[in-house]
Each structure stands twice: as structure tokens, then as C-alpha cells.
Chain A
């Protein structure tokens, strides 16, 4: 191999209380797809932010095509030929596609020319996009196309992609991989960040594995088993959840023809959603983010009210009840957003225990708060769910993601729910905490609770659900038994490639090859 495109040696970056990157070194070759593999919190994002000039390393150095490279800001990095597609989109919802693209370029051409270039590039790479549309109206997959095209218009030498598939359906992932292979063929290097092993085995030439900020190994993914890579990534053996097969009981939660207009203008409306959940059963609801997950949780938790008889628990209509009336009936929920929705960031764990525990744990009398009771409830959660924290006086935002998530789930599980609805129970949580959370949900089901798990992690849903359905643009697919579902079937339930035909891309690919 010739001189590498980018050589990183000894990069270190520390934040108060945590070393995000500790002496990381690796090389990316020309026209190579290089994987950066690691769990959430392993330091992948910090590392690429240093390459992109958003974060300055504390020590270490980088060489770009053999000469020193220390971008002081993203502009300098872009000028050298680095482009980045962000995990959480760096897009502006109220602006149109062309304006969004222009903002990511150093010297954008006049708008009219830019719109033409966007059309050209998007057709070349099989990523159809209308430059005049407002980004707020686009689907998650389309938004990612905007980001990719923004990068491609600058003819990058290195394209960084941070968890690009987390917002895509399996079919859309196929299309993305086609695009990336074309880019590679044209000589572009790609730094591909993910924690999904199969993707990396399929796409990448080389992989660097990070754990707790350190480079713990390199491999050629095609020649390494997923199991070996997983062990490098996680570090210790995982406790896989055990699902004790229980016979499902009576129908507890019955949702019939539920439609709901969201209060937020950029939200998704729910359309004619119908399903039921039995005692002792876990229903897994998949789907790409932004297809009505938040709205469904709000409707079930009582934050949004629904018409009479659309929601029934044990035969009683609960659509008009607020969150606390539902808690009295044992209907509990844990929303996706930990900080700001499930918990108040600046409030103590005691106060956060009071937040949902007031009714079922009997933490008020005549409206006066029993602070001693709230503290002991918080202590129980901390103990039962192994929440690592100095004590219940600590503010929620001081906890790590995994610990706070254990607290949030534990708070609901310990209140003995008859129905529990959770959204993204293990998002951004380390593997050990994720396994513990999944196990607690399964234990709860074994005790006879009816559980709805909304998640974008298909592996997780396949592991713990008895039955599976998918949300797509506010509609729910048919519910099917989880056992025996293939990835293609799941993909189709999730809405396929959102109106795009895989075949068409293959045509485009053929055209691109002949052109």
C-alpha cells in the first residue's frame, strides 16, 4: 500500500471526569472503506470530531497525505478534503435543500447553478432529491441524502459517516451501500462509524475497534467473525437475556382505530392504529425514527388525550384520562428522551423518583410531599437496578446515559405496572446496562405485565418480543409473531425504501458504470 491518506497517532482528548480518547492511532488508506467500531460512549464521535476540526486534541498528531494536519475548524478540514455526514443531522428544517447544501460548502455557486448540480449529483448516485423542498418535510432517509450530497459536491478525499444506517430501513441501507461502493470505486476513502457488525463485515476493508477511548485492535472485517469483533468491542462476555416462554394471558391493552394529530407541527400524525397486548406478553414495535413513535407513546402515557374507546385497559376506556389517572390504573410509561422528558436534568434523583412515583408509591398526602418516602423510593431504585451514583441527592444530568436509563426504567418497573410502554429502552446505553434493562423487562412480563417496547434496534426487538409490528408514517403494520421473521419481511413492514425501488438504483448503477 502507498502512503496512507490519513495517519493518526497518539490522539488523546479528555473531558472533565472522562477520557474520551486515550492515545488512539490508526491509518486510513486511499480509496479504503475504514470502519471505526465501538459501543456507544467508546469515543468514536470525539475522534471524528477531531479529524473534522470541531474538537482540538489534548495531544497527539495527524498526517494528511504525509504532511502535518491540525484543522482548527471544520472549514480548514473541508478545505483539505474531509467531509462529514453527522449522526444527528446538521440540517436546518426551515430552509430548503439547496440552502442546506450551500451552508455546508466553502464557495457555493449561485443558487440556480447549485440546484442544477444537486440534481446532477443526486441522479449520478441514485439518491433522488428536489433542491427546492423544505428539509422539515423530508423523511429521515431523504435528510441523510441531503447530507451526503452536500459532502459529495465538494469532491471529498475522505468522507466520514457517523452511524449512517441508524435512521434507515434495510432497503435504504442497501441503496446507501451501493452509493458508498461507487464512491470508493471513484477513489474516495470512507471512515465508517458503526456498532453494527454485519454492516461492517459487508462494507468495510479494514476496521479499528475502540473501547473506552482506547484502540483495542484492528482487523479485516471480511476475514474476522462477528463474534470475535464483538468480544473486542465489548470486552467481557455478555449476559444474554433469557426469555422464559410463558403462555400469554388475557388481553390487557386494547388499542382500536387510534388516530391522533400531533401538537407539534413537525410531528407525525397517528393513523388508524389497532393492536392489543396480552398479560405476560412483550409486543415489539419497530420503525425508523420519526414515524410516530413519540406520538404513540404520548397517546398511551396520557400526555395526549384520545377519543373515547380507542384505548382500553382491561375493558375500561382510558382515552380521556391524564397520566396520573392512568398511573392509578397501573399504566406506566418510559419515554425515549431521558433528559428533559423522562427525567428533569437539574433535579435530584429523589425529585425524579417523585416525578412518576407519586401516585403508586403514595408519596403525597393531601398534596404535601413525603420527602422521606421519595428518598427511600429513589434509594430502592438505585439498589434494585444497580444505578452507579453517590446517592439520591445527585442531579439526574450527572449520571451517565446507561445509569440514568436504568433509573428511568427501574422507576417504572418497581411500581408493578399492569401495562408498561417503553420507547428506546437501551438507546445510547452500554451493552451490560442494555442487557440488564432487557432482562428486567422480560422478568416483568413473566410476572404477568403487558409490555410494549418501541425501538429502532431490530436486534433488540427480535430478542425480546413475542410479537412484532412496525410503524411507518404514523401507520402500524400487521402484527406478526416475532419468531421466524426474516430481515426482508421486517424491512417491508417498516415501509421498504420509502417509495424508492431498489431495482431502479441497480439500473442507475449500471448507467453509472457504462457512462
Chain B
């Protein structure tokens, strides 16, 4: 065992990388839930995003095109969920599960011929001078661009929900779809747009895993990150900046356990590997005491019957 092999600067830098997929999927799901919809299909949308991004990157040779494709893939898959829950009025829990089961199968099918291939690399955004600053440089200024995009999306979501009229309407729809309908807002349209945004974010998060973090394609490679993203929204009490905080916390745990594994700590690998999931449960227990911040219409179907 050699704990001195763990470099704190590298640990923090890699924590930010590990947290980014979670951050992206979590902020997308936050917007979906703010509109009053519970989409349990995050895992399915992530894995489909992961393979879409991977395949298109390999075919086009451009990681950027791949990332766009991942967002499109996630959003298209989320449209299935939107159709089921918003137009066919299906149960949101069952539909979300269906999305995840379907997404896992679909991604495995699409990924058949991509196993073992290396994707084109994404250039790091090494900002001259700044990235050379000791400690702060590697932590803050020498990552891939998507990581910064993720933080920007959090900031934009926060500002959108807090200051914009569209954000106010979205929150209103999530609080009471009946009242929003009575005032003449198109509840189903608002929710469909939110679901698609959630799908695009989850897709991007998935592609971040397959293109940047790992980077390669294996079946089921999201390994429950989509589910942890759902827990993250509860942890964040539906507040955007807390999603960032939570994602870094979870990212830190998973990076730390990997580092401990590498350092050969006397705890068996399997127990270290299960720690992120156990900690997620623990966090859920702590946060579930306060439910008052959840959108009031969360998970309820809306049909303008009269």
C-alpha cells in the first residue's frame, strides 16, 4: 500500500473529469423534474448517447460531431418517453424503466462493431500561461472543453430558472399543471421541451464517458451513473448549483476509491467499488427528510379533459 502515490492535484483534476457525466445528466434531469416530470430513463439515454457519440466520432473522425450526435441521440430517445407520458398518458415510472431497458439493449446492438476501437481524441483546452500555474493550472485550466461546457450549462440553467420568463413558466408547470393550463400555458409542450433538454444533456454525459473519460466503448459502460444522477437531483434539492456540488462530491468518491484500489489499500476491490452506490443510498436517506422543495406536480400525468 502506498498512499503517497496519490497526488492531490491530479486527484482533484480527475475528480472534475469523473464528475462531468454525472453533472450533465443531473442538470438535465433537474430541468425535467422542475417541469413536473420524473424520467427514470436517464441511464438509458446516457448509454445511447455514449454509443451514438462514439460511433459518429469514429465514422466522422471528429469528436465534436460525435458530441452533437450524442445529444441528438439522447434527445430522440427521450422523445419516446415524452410521447408515452405526455400523449399516451402512460405511467412515468414504468415508461422511464422501459426507456432504460430499451436503451441498454439498443446501445449494445449499435455498439457491436465498435468494441475495442479507439475514438479520435479530444484536444485539451490548454490555455497558455494559465495552465502552467502550479496547482491551479492543472486543476482549473487544462481540461477538455466539454468540462467547461458542463459548468456553463449549470450556470445557464440557474439563470434561466431564476430570471427568465420561460424559466418561470417551466417552474409554474411543475408546481401545478392545472393552474398553468387554466392560465393558458401549453403544459405538454413545455414538458416535452424539458424532456428533450434532459435527453440531450444525458446523451452528452454518456458521450463524455465513452469519448473522453474512458475512452472506449463497452456494453453497459455507464454502470449506473444515470441512476446516481437521479439521486443527485434529490441531493441537490432541485437547485442547480447544488447539482454541481453533488456531482463533484460523487466524482470525488469514485476517483478516490479508484486511487485507493490502485494504491493497494487492504480493502478488497469489490467493497471499494460498491462504495459510491452505498454513499448514494446514505445521501438519499439524509436528504429525504425534506421533501418540501420537490416540484408539487412531480410524476403526475396531465390531461386537459375539460
Chains A, B in direct contact (C-beta < 8 Å): yes
Report A's interface with B, CB cutoff 8 A. 15, 46, 49, 53-55, 73-75, 77-78, 86, 88-95, 99, 102-104, 108, 265
Which chain B residues numbered 85 to 137 have a C-beta less than 8 Å away from chain A? Answer: none
Give the residues in chain A near B178, CB-CB below 8 Å.
88, 90
- Chain A residue at minimum C-beta to C-beta distance from B163: A111
Given known A54-B184, A73-B184, A91-B179, contact A103–B306 (CB-CB < 8 A): no
Looking at A46, A74, A89, A90, the one whose CB has the most chain B CB atoms below 10 A away is: A90
By CB atoms of chain A within 10 A, which of B176, B181, B182 has the most?
B182
Let me know if B79 is at the binding interface, CB within 8 A: no
User: Which of A53, A86, A92, A93 has the most CB atoms of chain B within a 10 A radius of its CB?
Assistant: A92
* A90–B165 CB distance below 8 A: no
Give which listed residue, B165, B172, B306, contacts A55 with CB less than 8 A.
Answer: B306
Say whether, besides A55-B306, A93-B175, A103-B172, A265 and B292 are in contact (CB < 8 Å). yes
Which one of B178, B183, B295 has the greatest number of beta carbons of chain A within 10 Å? B183
Contacts A15-B306, A55-B306, A102-B165 given: A95-B182 contact, CB under 8 Å?
no
Q: Among A54, A73, A99, point to the contact of B168 (Cβ < 8 A).
A: A99
- Assess whether B165 is in contact with A92, with CB atoms less than 8 Å apart: no
- Chain A positions within 8 Å of B184 at CB level: 53-54, 73-75, 77-78
* CB nearest neighbor in A for B169: A103
How extensive is the interface on chain B, given as a class? Answer: 10 to 19
CA distance A195 to B159 in the complex (A): 46
Can you name the residue of chain B whose Cβ is closest to the Cβ of A20?
B306
| Chain A residues within 8 Å of B171, by CB | 92, 94-95
Q: Interface on chain A toward B: helix, strand, loop, or mixed SS? A: loop
Partner of B182, one of A78, A90, A93: A90
- Interface positions, chain B 279-306, Cβ under 8 Å from A, are 292, 295-296, 306
Q: Is the CB of B165 within 8 A of A93?
A: no
- Give Cα A304–Cα B169 distance, bound, in whole angstroms: 36
A54 and B182 contact, CB distance less than 8 A? yes
| Interface Cβ pair total, 8 Å cutoff | 55
In whole angstroms, what is the CA distance A88 to B181 when docked? 13
**Contact at A104–B183, with CB atoms within 8 Å?**
yes
CA distance A108 to B166 in the complex (A): 12
Asked if A92 meets B306 with Cβ closer than 8 Å, knowing A74-B183, A74-B184, A99-B168, the reply is no
In B34-84, the 8 Å CB interface with A consists of none
19 residue pairs A–B, Cβ–Cβ below 8 Å: A46-B306, A49-B306, A53-B184, A54-B184, A73-B184, A74-B182, A74-B183, A86-B182, A90-B178, A90-B179, A91-B179, A92-B179, A93-B175, A94-B171, A94-B296, A95-B175, A99-B168, A103-B183, A104-B183
Interface of B is mostly: helix
Q: Answer whether A90 and B175 are a contact pair too, CB < 8 Å, given A15-B306, A102-B165, A103-B169.
A: no
Distance (whole angstroms) from the CB of B55 to the closest CB of chain A: 42
CA distance A203 to B178 in the complex (A): 30
Q: Which residues of A contact B296 (CB under 8 A)?
A: 93-94
Closest to B304 in A: A54
Q: CA–CA, A46 to B179, complex, Å?
A: 16
Q: Identify which of residues 170-202 in chain B touch chain A, using a CB-to-CB cut-off of 8 Å.
A: 171-172, 175-176, 178-185
Residue of A nearest to B184 (CB): A74
Chain B contacts for A54, CB-based, 8 A: 181-182, 184
In the bound complex, residues from chain B placing their C-beta under 8 Å from that of A108 are 165
Within the complex, the shortest CB–CB distance from A328 to chain B, in Å, comes to 34
**Bound state CA distance, A46 and B306, in angstroms?**
8
4 closest A-B pairs (Cβ-Cβ)? A74-B184, A90-B179, A90-B182, A92-B175
**B179: A residues at CB distance < 8 A:** 89-92
Q: How far is the CB of A244 from chain B (nearest CB, A)?
A: 42
- Which residue of chain B has the shortest Cβ distance to A86 in the bound complex? B182
Q: Report the minimum CB–CB distance from A80 to chain B (whole Å).
A: 13
* Minimum distance in angstroms from B270 CB to a CB of chain A: 41
Q: How far is the CB of B75 from chain A (nearest CB, A)?
A: 27
Closest-by-CB residue of B relative to A74 is: B184
Residue of B nearest to A75 (CB): B184
A510 CA to B262 CA, complexed, in Å: 81
Within the complex, what minimum Cβ distance (angstroms) separates B95 from chain A?
Answer: 20
Does B172 lie within 8 Å of A92, measured CB to CB?
yes
Q: How far does the alpha carbon of A77 sit from the alpha carbon of B184 in the complex, in Å?
A: 10
Known interface pairs A54-B181, A74-B183, A103-B172; 16 further A-B residue pairs with C-beta atoms within 8 A, sorted by A's residue number = A49-B306, A54-B182, A55-B306, A74-B182, A86-B182, A89-B179, A92-B171, A94-B171, A94-B295, A95-B171, A95-B172, A99-B168, A102-B168, A103-B168, A103-B169, A103-B183
Name the residue on A nearest B175 (C-beta): A92
Q: How far is the CB of B252 from chain A (nearest CB, A)?
A: 32
A73, chain B: closest CB distance, angstroms? 5
Of chain B, the residue at the smallest CB distance from A15 is: B306
What's the least CB distance linking A161 to chain B, in Å? Answer: 14
Which B136-186 residues have a C-beta within 8 angstroms of A?
165, 168-169, 171-172, 175-176, 178-185
With CB as the reference atom, state the residue of chain B lying closest to A77. B184
Q: Which residue of B lies closest to A53 (CB)?
A: B184
Residues of B within 8 A of A92 (CB): 171-172, 175-176, 179-180
Bound Cα distance A265, B296 (Å): 12
Smallest CB separation, A62 vs chain B (Å): 17
| Bitwise interface map of B from 185 to 229 toward A, beta carbon under 8 Å scored 1, else 0 | 100000000000000000000000000000000000000000000
A53 contacts which chain B residues (CB < 8 A)? 184
Task: Give the distance to chain A from B228, nearest Cβ to Cβ, in Å.
Answer: 26
Given contacts A15-B306, A55-B306, A95-B175, contact A90 B183 (CB under 8 A): yes
CA distance A104 to B168 in the complex (A): 11
Chain B residue with Cβ nearest A45? B306
Complex: A95 Cα to B295 Cα, angstroms: 11
Query: CA separation between A471 and B134, bound complex, in Å?
Result: 68
Closest chain B residue, CB of each to CB of A135: B175
Please name all residues of chain B whose beta carbon is closer than 8 Å to the beta carbon of A15 when the two chains form the complex: 306
CA of A54 to CA of B165, assembled, Å: 22
- Which chain A residue shows the least CB distance to B290? A265
CB distance from B74 to the nearest CB of A (A): 29
Could you tell me the distance between the alpha carbons of A78 and B171 in the complex, rounded to whole angstroms?
Answer: 22
Closest to B293 in A: A94
Least distance between B34 CB and chain A CB atoms (Å): 11
Residues of the B chain whose Cβ atoms lie less than 8 Å from the Cβ of A91:
176, 179
Instruction: Report the separation of the CA atoms of residues A89 and B180 in the bound assembly, to the nearest whole angstrom.
Output: 11
Which chain B residues border A77 with CB–CB below 8 Å? Answer: 184
Q: In the complex, which residues of chain B have a beta carbon less than 8 angstroms from the beta carbon of A78?
A: 184
Give the contacts of B227-256 with A (CB-CB under 8 A): none
CB contacts (< 8 Å) of B292 on chain A: these are 265
Q: Report Cα–Cα, A398/B131, bound state, in Å.
A: 69
A93 touches B176 (CB 8 A): yes
In contact, A94 and B182 (Cβ under 8 angstroms):
no
Nearest neighbor of A92 in chain B, beta-carbon distance = B175
Q: B175 touches which one: A49, A55, A94 (CB < 8 A)?
A: A94
A-chain residues with CB within 8 Å of residue B172 when the two chains form the complex? 92, 95, 99, 103
What are the residues of chain A within 8 A of B306 when measuring CB–CB?
15, 46, 49, 55
Name the distance in Å between A398's Cβ and chain B's nearest Cβ.
14
Chain B residues lying within 8 Å of A55, measured Cβ to Cβ, are 306
Roughly how many angstroms separate A104 CA and B179 CA in the complex, as a whole number? Answer: 10
Measured between beta carbons, the chain B residues less than 8 angstroms from A90 are 176, 178-179, 182-183
Chain B: CB-nearest residue to A106: B184
Counting chain A CB atoms within 10 Å of each CB, which of B171, B178, B179, B185 scores highest? B179
